[in-house]
Amino acid sequence: MESSHVENDLVNILFTEEQIQARLAEMAEQITADYEGRDLVVVGVLRGAVMVMADLSRAMPRHIEMDWMAISSYGSGTKSSGVVRILKDLDSDISGRDVLIVDEIIDTGLTLSWLVNSLRNRGPRSVEIATLLRKPEALAMPVEPKYVGWDIPNEFVVGYGLDYNEKYRNMRDIGTLAPHVYS
C-alpha cells in the first residue's frame, strides 16, 4: 500500500521505501562481514518484523537459516501486562550457533530483553539484535542492538510492518500516525 492511500492518517513520512531498502542493504553488508564463516540463524519476531526480516535476508549474499518467534506481553490491551508469553517458539536448535534477532522497532525494550535472556539460556554461541528503528527516549530496559537502522523520536509510527490495530503493516513507507486516528 502506498502512503498516499492513507495520507490523511499520517502527520509525516519518516522514511520512504527507497530509504528503507538502502539502509537494510547497508545493515546486511555489515552483518555479512561480521558473521563471515559462521553458522547464522536469523530469528524474526512476529508479526511486525516480517517485512524487515524478508528484505534484510534477501540483501545478504550468503546462506542463513531463518526461524520465527511470536511473543506477547500485551494481551488484548495497549499497555504491557509485564508477563511475556511465547505464542510460537523456534523450530531450530540454536545451541552452539550464532543467533541474530531481527525486529522492526525497539520501543520500551521489555519484551525484547526477556527474549534475549530466554534465547541465551538455550546455549547459543552468541545472541545479537538487529532492528530497523529504535526509540531511545522510550527505553525502559537496557537493550543493546548491534545493528540499528535509525533512532527515532518517541512517536507512534506505522508502516513497513508497524501497525495500529493490525492496520498499516503493508504500507511501503514509515510514517508518524496522526493522533486523530488513535485518540
| Positions marked active-site | 107
Q: CA dist 62 to 29, 32, 128, 156, Å?
A: 10, 7, 18, 35
Angle at 110 between CA 152 and CA 14, to 5 degrees: 15
Alpha helix segments (H runs only) across the chain? 17-34, 50-58, 110-120, 179-182
Where do we find the cell 502512503?
Answer: 3
Q: CA dist 158 to 12, 97, 109, 134, Å?
A: 11, 33, 18, 13
